[in-house]
Structure 1
């Protein structure tokens, strides 16, 4: 399981890094892309904090300046790799409070997979936003990454 999560977090890191680089090269980034990518970063951070039972530094929809995305992304990735490396049981149940204050429990495996799936979903929305602004989005399909 550790190998699997290391691989998909590496894929996630790769795609987000390419997207950050592309946004930094643009003259301007649409407000929707800023909103969605900031949310990707925030959610990843929040889930890591929940797993580690630490307070979150970010709100779910807090927006970040594009120039700060890479640092936040790197820290998210570092934290996730640390979580995966130190996990002795991926079926361990994690209790947490969602952004609305409701209590839930999920396995570590479910949460880690959710981080990746959530990011993939919103990168797809960002790709649509790019197309709507006559920009070519990055290729972020997993199979292309693995080739």
Structure 2
């Protein structure tokens, strides 16, 4: 795959599709990989990489909810812990 200033739109698009396919295959190679690990109790487990990533995301959400609930119980006002709100606030600050 070669990109230079003389490429036509069709050649650039073909290069883009080829690169996209390479990235997609790389993603499948990594995300579908079986991972073996031990828990803190020493028990061995196996999961597919994308399952572990999903767990990490969900677990972070669980803890943010716990913190928010504790703050409310202490009489404090909490803020949204949704990622989309974080992105919107960051975009507002950068403007």
TM-score range, shorter chain: 0.5 to 0.7
2:53 maps to 112
Corresponding residue SS for 1:89:
helix
Calculate the TM-score normalised by the size of structure 1: 0.38
Which blocks of at least 5 consecutive residues in structure 1 are unaligned? 1-85
Corresponding residue SS for 2:52:
helix
Provide the rounded CA distance (Å) in 1 between the counterparts of 2:79 and 2:57.
Answer: 17
Calculate the TM-score normalised by the size of structure 2: 0.56
1:90-129 → structure 2 map (5 Å cutoff): 90-129=31-70
- Higher-Rg structure is 2
1:18-57 → structure 2 map (5 Å cutoff): none
Which blocks of at least 5 consecutive residues in structure 2 are unaligned? 1-26, 89-95
Question: What's the C-alpha RMSD, in Å, of the aligned pairs?
Answer: 2.4
Which stretches of structure 1, 4 residues or more, deviate above 6 A after TM superposition? none
Answer 1 or 2: higher relative contact order, Cα 8 Å, separation at least 6: 1
Q: How many residues align?
A: 63
